[in-house]
Chains A and B, each alone.
Chain A
Amino acid sequence: MSAPKYWREMAQRYRFEAVKCKKCGRVLFPPRLVCPACKSREFENTRINDKGTIETYTIVRIPPSQFTDEAPYPVAIVNMGDNVRVLCQVADCEPEELKIGMPVRLEFRKIQQEGSSGILAYGYKCVPE
């Protein structure tokens, strides 16, 4: 991950900043310019909450090179409420513990590092509640 790309996405990666449509109330994460429900362009800032439930998951056994020492690791789609779903790694959880509908909480973790000299990228993973 390049430093500029990482930096541009910080508000979402670090603080889960989202927007709420002023017309129809739809919450969008990540934020968009136009509301897909009502086409409005007026939003107010909001934040998605830090608790959710696992909607579905998979276990990555053949990982990309920067995740070699973490495999096997689960990746889940988590329902955060307000029609918001996030895709993230599940930490502190054995693959056999995973269940659909399992309550989870978001925790701040190191997401990846660029070799031994690049930047450290931080963000959220979910952990069993």
Chain B
Amino acid sequence: MVGIVGYGAYIPRNRIKVEEIAKVWGADAPSYKRGLQLREKSVPSPDQDTITMSVEATKNALKRAEIDPQDIGAVYIGSESHPYAVKPSGTVLAEAIGATPDCHCADYEFACKAGSEGMFVAMSLVKAGEMKYALGIGADTSQGAPGDALEYSASAGAAAFIFGKENVLAECLYTHSWMTDTPDFWRREHQFYPSHGGRFTGEPAYFRTIMGCAKALLEKSKMKPEDFAYAVFHQPNGKFPMTVGKRIGFKTEQMEQGWLCPTLGNTYSGASPIGLTSILDVAKPGDLIFMVSYGSGAGSDGFIFKATDKLPGVQNKAVHTRAMLDSERRKYLDYGTYSKFRGKIKLRGE
């Protein structure tokens, strides 16, 4: 049996509300909130980035896996906000958790599906018997240009998954990847903010790709949407994942537990992976979980997991994802502090 033997998430404590951003740009907050089905988003502190959040998410995963980090044979961080242009993020992470030096490391990039890519490769290496454990992480601290629609949603968070063959918490039953060349969202070298194709990011990109992957995964597994206790999809806003899920045949009740976007925002590479951690926090033995990520450019990775009887015993060994999302220590920022935190203000000499 191959699957997840440890999982954990990290969400920073700062938040900004849609109203606070809309106020600055003279935009209509109620129509953004309705259109995006989004109320607020997480914001990293100035001393947090993809590396620091990956380390914290992995520490939570290690609390649940209770393994020797020296047995982790591969470390893959998927992100579109790796702090260095040249120098891996994964080396810092591996050093911080004590997985060096006998370890394979690569940073993944594929817009928002970089995290599920890392999970896919980590899972496959363990399945192939190449190593005892492998770690796949999705993390981002993405930015939208000031005033752009993306600024309302681009947020921060991380999820980490350790794959192995012993003491499996959620068995990976099937995977499927589906991708085409679709230029819906991109960032050229040396550009600070990304560009997108506006409405083109919807039907021909997000919906077509996720549905392509989901249908192939259901055919491969000979399963139906009603067989699943939970489903989670990439969540660039609150509206898209619910719409795509219903088109495939899932109901609201199956999707709510992993639907974090309304108060988390779009954590890019972290989006469906963090949703999956929230599902694993409450899933019961035997529950089937359907997950499809999405990365612009464009592609989807799909997974079917089945919770085992080992899962309930570890759910409370680390903080629950919803507890971080709804934490009493949330701090609401004004736009000025948010701009300072996100480096949108350029100081003299920089």
Binding site for B on A (CB under 8 A): 10, 14-15, 68-70, 91-92, 107-111, 116, 120, 122, 125, 128
Contacts and interface: CB of A to CB of B under 8 A. Distances in A.
13 contacts: A14-B96, A15-B95, A15-B98, A70-B46, A91-B45, A109-B48, A109-B52, A110-B47, A110-B51, A116-B350, A120-B51, A122-B51, A122-B92
Interface string B92-117: 10011110000000000000000000
Given A69-B340, A69-B347, A109 B95 contact: no
Interface in B140-193: none
Contacts of A108: 51-52, 55-56, 59, 96
A91 B59 CA distance: 18
B52 A14 contact: no
Contacts, number: 51
B23 to A, nearest CB: 23
B49 interface: yes
A77 B308 CA distance: 44
Contacts of B52: 107-110, 122
B329 interface: yes
Contact of B84 (A14, A116, A120, A128): A120
Given A107-B56, A108-B59, A110-B47, 19 more contacts: A14-B92, A14-B95, A14-B96, A15-B95, A15-B98, A68-B347, A69-B46, A91-B45, A92-B13, A92-B331, A108-B52, A108-B56, A108-B96, A109-B45, A109-B52, A110-B46, A116-B350, A120-B84, A128-B329
- Greatest chain B CB density within 10 A among A68, A91, A92, A128 is at A92
Contacts of A116: 350
B336 interface: no
Task: Give the most central of A10, A14, A15: most B CB within 10 Å.
Answer: A14
Contact of B47 (A15, A68, A111): A111
A122 B96 contact: yes
B202 interface: no
Interface centre among A10, A70, A107, A128 (most CB of B within 10 A): A107
A100 to B, nearest CB: 20
B83 interface: yes
Nearest to A13: B96
A93 B244 CA distance: 40
A125 B45 CA distance: 12
Given A14-B95, A92-B13, A110-B52, A125 B84 contact: no
Contacts of B96: 14-15, 108, 122
Contact of A91 (B47, B95, B97, B350): B47
